[in-house]
Amino acid sequence: MDVLSDAIAAMRTGRPHSSRRDKHAPWGMRFEASDGAGFHVVLQGSAWLIPADGEPVAVGPGDVVFLAHGRGHALASGLDVPLEEVRLGPDGRWPRLPPATDESGPTTVMLCGAYQLDRHRAHPLLAELPEVVHLPTRIGAHRSLRAAVELLGMELEEPQPGADTIVTSLLDTLLLYILRAWWQRERHGGGHPTGWSAALADPAVAAALRAVHGDPSRPWTVEELGARGGLSRAAFARRFTTLVGEPPLTYLTWWRMITAGRLLRTDDLPLRLVAQRTGYTSEFAFAKAFKREYGVPPGQYRKRAS
């Protein structure tokens, strides 16, 4: 199983939204803090990304910026430009823009998008991302990401039948390509990867993570997980705990609960089957563990999420 895809699925709620923005200088937009994550891609011209904390980032044609933590930020044609507040709809949808009155053509063209996330169940792989992930355009780099951006831009510029489904799928794809590009840069950037970048780059730990994500219902032991990567029980437990930040079976229990929450939100499975799919032979034991993690029984959690 793909740990990166699972990490996204664990947090995702609702549908992602995106829009194309044509801006005429001078312009400035301020985005309030939210539970979601967002991205901006400059297709033409340039812009300044101004994070809530940290230095402004110059963004040029083809650059992608991703803001994982929803702390609020601004985009502007210059650092001294007044900023107009932009508020997304309750479902994360972008407000409609008034028709452009400048016939000279836009100075900056961007793609902007937003994802809705449940930050109460943030996977540590996403939690450790920097406030701003900046992926500058480079010839030959991140070709899959560039292809997804181009397709998304075409769909938003000239919507055709089926565009709603295509755009949603492209946004999901784009998010994975952004995170993959960041992870690959961390892994091959010349330094030593840390945190989850190091965990996914470590063959033994990565093999154990794939096993846990692939079959969370299995009664895994530390010895079995270590054997997946060819390590002894003690050596594997030390390495896993160092890189992931918690012991193997603690992570297994946490992932089971995350999986259970997702099943309760998205499926109509009986609680008995949710319990079985997350490694519990007793519905009572599952309900007890679930309430300990979420603070409410699984049935009540499902009603709230519906």
| Rounded average pLDDT per 10-residue block, the chain, 306 residues | 80 84 91 88 94 92 92 93 82 59 73 85 82 86 89 89 90 91 76 74 93 95 95 96 94 94 89 95 94 93 86
Strands 37-44 and 108-117: antiparallel
Q: What are phi and psi of 59, to 5 degrees?
A: -120, 125
Q: For residues 103 and 34, state if they share a domain.
A: yes
**126/178 Cα distance (integer angstroms):** 12
Burial of 106 (0-12, 13-18, 19+ CB in 10 A): middle
Tell whether 7 is covered by a domain.
yes
Q: For residues 168 and 284, state if they share a domain.
A: no
**114/174 Cα distance (integer angstroms):** 11
Q: For residues 60 and 173, state if they share a domain.
A: yes
Domain that holds residue 300: 202-305
CATH number (domain holding residue 267): 1.10.10.60
**155/21 Cα distance (integer angstroms):** 13
Q: What are phi and psi of 296, to 5 degrees?
A: -140, 155
Q: Note the helical H segments in 161-246.
A: 163-188, 195-201, 203-214, 222-228, 233-244
DSSP at 93: P
Q: For residues 42 and 156, state if they share a domain.
A: yes
Q: For residues 22 and 164, state if they share a domain.
A: yes
Q: For residues 63 and 98, state if they share a domain.
A: yes
CATH number (domain holding residue 81): 2.60.120.280
For residue 87, what are the CA distances in angstroms to 48, 245, 290? 19, 36, 35
Out of 145, 162, 188, pick the residue that ends a domain: 188
Q: Residue 278: what pLDDT? A: 95
Q: Residue 103: what pLDDT? A: 56
Give the three-state DSSP class for 186: helix
* Spatial contact of 137 and 63, defined as CB atoms under 8 Å apart: yes
Strands 64-67 and 133-135: antiparallel
Q: Which of 201, 205, 215 is nearest to 238 (CA)?
A: 205
Q: For residues 135 and 215, state if they share a domain.
A: no
Q: For residues 172 and 259, state if they share a domain.
A: no
Whole-model pTM: value is 0.83
* Spatial contact of 142 and 181, defined as CB atoms under 8 Å apart: yes
Tell whether 194 is covered by a domain.
no
Tell whether 197 is covered by a domain.
no
Q: For residues 231 and 181, state if they share a domain.
A: no
Spell out the residues 6+ positions from residue 196 whose beta carbon is closer than 8 angstroms to its own: 124, 125, 128, 243, 244
Residue 51: in which H helix or E strand, if any? strand 47-51
Q: For residues 112 and 226, state if they share a domain.
A: no
Q: For residues 86 and 175, state if they share a domain.
A: yes
Tell whether 116 is covered by a domain.
yes
